[in-house]
Structure 1
Amino acid sequence: MTESPDHILIASILIPLVAGALMLFYGETQRRVIAVVSTVAQFIVALELVDMASHHTTSIGLYLLGDWPPPFAIVLVLDRLSALMVLLTSVLALSAVVFAMARWDRRGQHFHSLFQFLLMGLNGAFLTGDLFNLFVFFEVLLAASYGLALHGSGTLRVRAGLHYIAMNLAASLLFLIGVSLIYGVTGTLNMADLAVRVPLVAAEQQPLLAAGAAVLGIAFLVKAAMWPLCFWLPITYGAAPPPAAAVFVVLSKVGVYVVLRISSLAFGTAAAQMTGFGAEVLLWGGLATLVFGTVGVLASQGLGRLASCSVLVSSGTLLAVIGISGLGGGSAMIAAALFYLVISTVAISALFLMVELIERGESELAAILTVTAEAYGLGDDDLGEAELRSAGSGPGVPGATTVLGFCFLTCALLIAGVPPLAGFLGKFAMLSAVLSFDDLGKRDIPLIGIAFTAVVIISGLAALIALVREGTRTFWAAEEEELPSVPLVELVPVIVLLALTLGASVKAGPVMDYMEATATSLYHPHVYVRGVLGAETMPEAGK
């Protein structure tokens, strides 16, 4: 894959960039067409990237911008992990774009342009091979997410959006400080070059390197919503428009992705004296996030708040597993965590899309039961009830309540981890790997494994209780309420996302094989390092 430039890598960034810019010059209908074409094209490109990564186990894909040699080049790198995250993003994006066309893209200006710029930043963050351009793409996706979080109306949405902006601006400042410290010590920001230079850092410089890594880690953990840095997430995601919130779920996984990528390269097996750096912080911080999210799920009095707290549970689980693996665990933990990452992200995104569909026709009795939901921005909407009922475009779906109920049940089983669905398979694989890990010579890992298992099981039980409570209140207690018509364009994205998780349940073997190969490549980053640093520029014309 490194013998010639892989131009398809840059397509994942150029397509949303060009589409987002073109939309500014056209009307509503044309913007919708461009949005669908762009998102479908990104999905096709993502499938091709996964296929490329799957068939090349001893090399990586590279694109050298400006044809400068690494580590000086701005380089895009494709491996199994980055291909997986780009595909996950494109799947959520396509579902959200179709869902938004029912009415949400008309609630404010430039929804589709902001959405495409968000995708550009996400794809760039997953594909970039150096920390500085990671910062650039971070800022692109954050700037777009600010607009999407504020899209529409309502004072709660504005207040939550301002909190979100302030928190991320502080994280960006920490990002710059951490990057500056690391560059001052190592003289490079290329991730592959860091894997080579970190082991060579002099002993007197290692404290400064550790300080830079810690500051950088805080910036990533803010995005990953690790406790106590997660207070902004429930209110922001709960107040955001449903199609934006559905894609925001993967934003929290950007922090998890970067922690996994940097720890495997700069502070992994290639850097012996830094191995396990920050692992205990990730472990205990992840467990605290898991507990905090579980309490939030049980205390939630609205479906949007419940979905937001489920994001915290997902992030906490992943961070804890990464922390345990950093203490000396095997690649099986990371493989299971990646499987769980995909399934939980898709399931929670589908739940966010269903939030407004379910609550659109709630009765007054249901409103009384959720009297405190207004504090979380769930009822702050300037559209009247009549407009809400008629805002959807397209014919209503017969038996929409039945379809929604079935989709909600599937989401509940996935998030809670009930067998035999993929949510259970991901949790079972993680718990099996953690409990089988034994490193008695260093730490009491079995005790950590038992504690992690107990918290994960309790979190699943809490999610099941909370979701059953919400389902009963919505689909059973309000049986006499006439629910509004649900357009097909709003139901199809939810059904497709849940169908993908069901497909992952049936084809769990091949999916897990991909995850295991991905985890193995992370534990043996020499292919990544050799591929990036050994890249050659294009020969000059005539030579």
Structure 2
Amino acid sequence: MTAGHLVIAPVLIPFVAGALMLLYDDRQRRAKFALSIGSALALLLVSVELLNRSKGGGAGGNEISFYLLGDWAVPFGIVLVSDRLSAMMLCLTALLAIPTLLYAGAGWQRQGQHFHSLFQFLLMGLNGAFLTGDLFNLFVFFEVLLAASYGLLLHGSGQLRIRAGLHYIAINLAASLLFLIGVSLIYGVTGTLNMAHLARIVPTVTDADLPLLKAGAALLGLAFFVKAGIWPLSFWLPTAYMAGAAPVAAMFTIMTKVGIYIILRLSMLLFGPAAAASAGFGSGLLIAGGMATVGFGLLGVLASQGLGRMAAHMVLISSGTVLGTVGFTLAGGGPDMLGGALYYLVSSTLATGALFLLIEPMSREEGGIAGMLALTADAYGLDELEEEDPEVGLAIPGTLTVLGLSFGACLLVLAGLPPLSGFIGKVAMLAPLLAAPTVDPVLGWSFLSLLLLAGLATLIGLVRIGIQTFWATDGSVPKVLALEIAPVLGLIALLLTLTIRAEDTLRYMQATARALHEPTIYADGVFAAPRVTEGTAAP
């Protein structure tokens, strides 16, 4: 267990950077761009250090790092907690943010005001949600990231964006209301919102209070289902993600994972094997919701005529796959299955982000895929770029070759084909699932069949797009800037690294899953956090 100011850095760095950029004139784009990239790089360095610390010699190999705001003792004050899972999500956020910001520097940042400030506040909310140790501040950070995402989705204006943005705002406000009601019910039963304290109290809740606790947890879960895009609460997601500017849509791929992260965190803390009468609560609903989402996503992939909408449905397939695995784990599936799901989560998030960044370069020229994708200038705001401020960077040679190879790598990962990380993640999930004695074989084989069908649907959909792009063109070659393709190549390089270092990565993920199966590690680590003023009485 370690203390220090580093744990709060992922929240403070983007907050300070975003606030400073508000003082700049909007024409000072280069200064804002440099500050934004510097902030993202600093976040990556901090996240890597926290990840290395999480592999220390703590209980179960899960070193807990903490920060007590105001030096108030747990559970009376606000605490930020970094363990294996939260450190992994911080790293994933930073690894996705850096290429996304680089891509935005090619011209997307000019479509509206305060792009970089909004982006930094989004990072602040994401990092805070991953680090917070209590439900109330989880709500606060959720609202911060949602408020920033509203502005980013509407960035560049356009009728399609405004319509999708209004739907997005309305559904998330409704989810936030459910969040507050659920938190209120849980607080009414337990008298606390600290996650570590809840992990200790839930097993002792009386039978009379148990229905109210489960009702609060159900409402909380419903709010996270909306944010994770789980069917039938996912109707807003494909249009919203398709309408967003390319870098915004790429960054939004991790937004659904915040909902999955919280469902996983609270499920294992509050309703894991040590939760007595509450153990396994909601596992059946998680399995059913995950499978339904995968089914809806694969049908959406087959029905989509545009790559933007198709990629959005692939986000749903990813969320449904991880959620279903969480449900199987909660039902007694074991940590190995969950470790494979965490590996798959990282792989699918990076691949989907790269695919969103490829959409506009692939549809830039008239003919070929332009008609197939049906991506209008209104949707991307291309007609609003300022003529006096030209695109930044140099055009790259061999455009179609680079685009084709990048697109092919995304196809292999998202379809789950060997030898890349998508295949490894699915095998790491499904092999323990079928071998688990406590899992219903019918459910297990049904889940496997659904994932295979989802992979086949992804393969068919993306191959259809690829044929229209690279084989059915009229010979015109789109002009693609190095600043646009370099971030995509960076994400592909991360996927290749994830594949080459699969053994080491899976070892980390499985250790993370084993730590999640022992909630006392998290609870005891947080309660053992000493105050700076040792020897003083608790407030």
What's the TM-score, normalizing by structure 1? 0.95
Q: Out of 7, 10, 30, which is 2:8 matched to?
A: 10
Structure 2: which 5+ runs fail to align? none
Q: How far 1:269 moved relative to its partner?
A: 2.3
**Mapped pair 1:38 → 2:39:** yes
Q: Which residue is 1:533 aligned to?
A: 527
Asked if structure 2 preserves the Cα contact closer than 8 Å seen for 1:225 and 1:312, the reply is yes
- Which structure 2 residues correspond to residues 170-319 of structure 1 after superposition, within 5 A? 170-319=174-323
Q: Out of 493, 496, 499, which is 1:505 matched to?
A: 499
Structure 1: which 5+ runs fail to align? none
- Which structure 2 residues correspond to residues 70-219 of structure 1 after superposition, within 5 A? 70-219=74-223
Q: How far 1:153 moved relative to its partner?
A: 2.4
Q: Out of 516, 523, 536, which is 1:522 matched to?
A: 516
SS in 2 for 1:360: coil
In 2, Cα distance between the equivalents of 1:435 and 1:120? 39
1:385–1:170 Cα change, 3 Å:
closer
In 1, Cα distance between the equivalents of 2:535 and 2:321? 52
SS in 2 for 1:76: strand
Judge which range, 282-291 or 47-56, deviates more: 47-56
* Code of the aligned partner of 1:462: A
Q: Which residue is 1:486 aligned to?
A: 480
Q: Which residue is 2:450 aligned to?
A: 455
The number of residue pairs the alignment matches comes to 530
In 1, Cα distance between the equivalents of 2:316 and 2:57? 34
In 2, Cα distance between the equivalents of 1:382 and 1:347? 24
Q: Out of 465, 472, 486, which is 2:467 matched to?
A: 472
1:18–1:466 Cα change, 3 Å:
same
What do the CA deviations read for 1:415-436 (whole angstroms, capped 9, x no partner)?
0011011100001111111111
RMSD between superposed Cα atoms in Å? 1.8
Q: Which residue is 1:401 aligned to?
A: 400
SS in 2 for 1:77: strand
Q: Which residue is 1:435 aligned to?
A: 434
Asked if structure 1 preserves the Cα contact closer than 8 Å seen for 2:156 and 2:384, the reply is no
**Mapped pair 1:495 → 2:499:** no
SS in 1 for 2:209: helix
Q: How far 1:263 moved relative to its partner?
A: 0.6
Q: How far 1:541 moved relative to its partner?
A: 11
* Code of the aligned partner of 2:9: A
In 1, Cα distance between the equivalents of 2:238 and 2:169? 14
Aligned-residue identity in percent: 54
In 2, Cα distance between the equivalents of 1:378 and 1:290? 31
Q: How far 1:438 moved relative to its partner?
A: 1.6
* Code of the aligned partner of 1:420: P
* Code of the aligned partner of 2:35: I
In 2, Cα distance between the equivalents of 1:384 and 1:99? 18
Asked if structure 2 preserves the Cα contact closer than 8 Å seen for 1:239 and 1:378, the reply is no
In 2, Cα distance between the equivalents of 1:117 and 1:331? 34
* Code of the aligned partner of 1:493: P
Q: How far 1:504 moved relative to its partner?
A: 1.0
In 2, Cα distance between the equivalents of 1:141 and 1:196? 29
In 2, Cα distance between the equivalents of 1:520 and 1:84? 15
What do the CA deviations read for 1:87-132 (whole angstroms, capped 9, x no partner)?
0000001111111000000000000000000000000000000000
What do the CA deviations read for 1:235-294 (whole angstroms, capped 9, x no partner)?
000100111111100000001000000011111123111111111001011100000000
Asked if structure 2 preserves the Cα contact closer than 8 Å seen for 1:362 and 1:474, the reply is no
In 2, Cα distance between the equivalents of 1:231 and 1:382? 24
SS in 2 for 1:62: strand
Asked if structure 1 preserves the Cα contact closer than 8 Å seen for 2:412 and 2:422, the reply is yes
